[in-house]
């Protein structure tokens, strides 16, 4: 008799042989041997009992993942919904959001209410549960600044837990969910703290320019959100049209001496000094200098308006996109001596 987790999968409600391509924004071919859409968090306890200690593969909006092969593990699609706002005595607003809620819809809901904090993060693809995983960020804001707590199911200890923001180990596109606690927790919901009096963040990139262009003299959360949406739409490919997973690489952080040396040789290199003395460089700029921006390799390529983004022109395999990524990394390393880390989760 077969006691393997797969044997239990059907009894636990998993569907066999499910196409994952439409469930990811890269849209590359991949099939799950077993797939279950999770819409009831209480079901996690039974799933844990049935599947045993080996955790399933968690799939949120599929906007930060590249499948290079079919996953072996059963796949759990997160469909946990719910939005619960609550006013705090200090006038700030707590919003609890289920991990399966659409991220952009959450930003628009909060902006419409006049609650500040998420406006610069408008139009980021994906679901709420992926926000703390990646510590998503854009236009001078990181989501960690608005997260009070993350509710998880601890697959190892078999219990629900609430992790405070400081327990999540947030850093630039980093958290314990990607590192020390990888695969340990299923994120079921996130508690945000928003503020109707939060200051606007207008200093990054072309936000002010875009507001001016839109004729906005006194910006508010709504107009900043609109500006961010316009900027993103002008630079980043829409995954519904062109498969991609946003920035494929992280902006590298190098020591000050290397940054200095590079800037002497390449005076236009964008540099962002960090509080720890290191210097962040713009990976998009480095890639553009290698000549790869806008170039194709078979059915995939480097986006022509933002070199950090790799795109699937249609029909690309995950392995092809990975090969392109490795080629770009090697070129940047050869030219600048800088190693680019991938941001996307490659499976
Ligand atoms: N640049 C180039 N060529 C390019 C792209 C960028 O020279 O092809 C230069 C720009 O001119 C600018 C600098 O690089 O001087 C920074 O560019 P940009 O403001 O477009 O931002 P980024 O560093 O390339 C990061 C995030 C994006 C986020 C933007 C805006 C990472 C890995 N990426 O990109 O996040 O939208 O800032 O805040 O940190 C994502 O994570 O998926 C994502 C899209």
String of DSSP letters for 193-227: EEBTTPPP---STTHHHHHHHTT-SS--HHHHHHH
230 in a structural domain: no
pLDDT surpassing 50 at residue 94? yes
Please tell me whether residues 67 and 125 are part of one structural domain: no
- Nearest protein Cα to ligand 1, atom 43: 247
151 in a structural domain: yes
pLDDT surpassing 60 at residue 96? yes
- Distance from Cα 43 to the centre of ligand 1, integer Å: 40
pLDDT band at 4 (very low <50, low <70, confident <90, very high): low
Please tell me whether residues 67 and 118 are part of one structural domain: no
- Distance from Cα 284 to the centre of ligand 1, integer Å: 6
Please tell me whether residues 87 and 186 are part of one structural domain: yes
Tally the domains of the chain. 3
Kindly state the average pLDDT of the residues 88-100. Answer: 98
213 in a structural domain: no
Assign residue 87 the CATH number of its domain. Answer: 3.30.465.10
| Burial call 147-162: b when 16+ CB within 10 Å, e when fewer | bbbbbbbbbeeeebee
Determine the residue of 308, 332, 341, 343 to mutate for testing ligand 1's pocket, defined as the one with the most ligand atoms within 8 A of the Cβ atom: 308
Q: Whole-number mean pLDDT of the chain?
A: 96
- Closest of 120, 118, 69, 76 to residue 97, by C-alpha: 118
- Distance from Cα 274 to the centre of ligand 1, integer Å: 16
pLDDT in tens, 14-63: 999 999 999 999 999 999 999 999 999 999 999 999 999 999 999 999 99
205 in a structural domain: no
Assign residue 56 the CATH number of its domain. Answer: 3.30.43.10
- The pLDDT, as a whole number, for residue 8 is 84
- Closest of 115, 168, 117 to residue 140, by C-alpha: 117
pLDDT surpassing 60 at residue 290? yes
Structural element, H or E, at residue 266: none
- The pLDDT, as a whole number, for residue 3 is 44
Please tell me whether residues 58 and 94 are part of one structural domain: no
Determine the residue of 123, 282, 302 to mutate for testing ligand 1's pocket, defined as the one with the most ligand atoms within 8 A of the Cβ atom: 282
Assign residue 308 the CATH number of its domain. Answer: 3.90.78.10
What is the domain extent for residue 27?
5-78
- The pLDDT, as a whole number, for residue 205 is 83
Kindly state the average pLDDT of the residues 58-81. Answer: 97
Please tell me whether residues 163 and 150 are part of one structural domain: yes
Kindly state the average pLDDT of the residues 106-126. Answer: 98
- Nearest protein Cα to ligand 1, atom 41: 247
pLDDT surpassing 70 at residue 302? yes
pTM score, two decimals? 0.96
Q: Which of 3-12, 102-111, 121-130, 333-342 has the lowest mean pLDDT?
A: 3-12
- The pLDDT, as a whole number, for residue 319 is 98
- The pLDDT, as a whole number, for residue 7 is 64
Higher pLDDT, 4 or 238: 238
Residues with active-site annotation: 173, 247, 343
Count other Cβ atoms within 10 Å, centred on residue 337.
Answer: 11
Instruction: Tell me the CA distances in angstroms from 296 to 138, 300, 313, one per residue in order.
Output: 26, 6, 9
Please tell me whether residues 144 and 169 are part of one structural domain: yes
| Final residue of a structural domain among 161, 194, 227 | 194
């Amino acid at each position: 008799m077969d006691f393997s987790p797969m044997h239990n999968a059907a009894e636990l409600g998993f569907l066999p042989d499910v196409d994952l391509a439409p469930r990811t924004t890269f849209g590359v071919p991949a099939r799950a041997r077993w797939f279950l859409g999770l819409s009831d968090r209480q079901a996690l306890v039974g799933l844990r009992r049935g599947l045993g200690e080996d955790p399933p593969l968690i799939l949120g909006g599929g906007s930060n993942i590249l499948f290079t092969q079919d996953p072996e593990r059963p796949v759990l699609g997160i469909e946990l919904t719910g939005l619960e706002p609550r006013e705090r005595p200090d006038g700030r607003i707590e919003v609890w959001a289920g991990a399966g809620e659409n991220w952009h819809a959450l930003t628009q809901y909060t902006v419409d209410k006049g609650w500040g904090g998420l406006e610069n993060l408008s139009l980021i693809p994906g679901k709420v549960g992926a926000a703390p995983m990646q510590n998503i960020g854009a236009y001078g804001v990181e989501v960690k600044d608005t997260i009070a707590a993350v509710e998880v199911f601890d697959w190892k200890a078999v219990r629900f837990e609430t992790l405070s923001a400081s327990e999540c180990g947030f850093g630039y596109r980093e958290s314990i969910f990607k590192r020390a606690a990888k695969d340990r927790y299923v994120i079921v919901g996130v508690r945000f703290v928003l503020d109707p009096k939060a200051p606007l963040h207008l200093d990054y990139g072309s936000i002010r320019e875009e507001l001016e262009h839109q004729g906005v003299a006194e910006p508010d959360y709504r107009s900043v959100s609109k500006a961010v949406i316009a900027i993103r739409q002008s630079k980043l490919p829409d995954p519904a049209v062109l498969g991609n997973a946003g920035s494929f690489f992280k902006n590298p952080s190098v020591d000050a001496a290397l940054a200095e040396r590079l800037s002497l040789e390449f005076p236009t290199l964008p540099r962002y000094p960090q509080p720890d003395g290191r210097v962040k460089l713009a990976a998009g700029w480095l890639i553009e200098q290698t000549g790869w921006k806008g170039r194709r390799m078979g059915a995939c390529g480097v986006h022509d308006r933002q070199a950090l983004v790799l795109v699937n022109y249609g029909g690309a395999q995950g392995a092809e996109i990975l090969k392109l990524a490795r080629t770009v990394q090697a070129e940047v390393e050869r030219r600048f001596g800088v190693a680019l880390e991938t941001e996307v989760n490659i499976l």
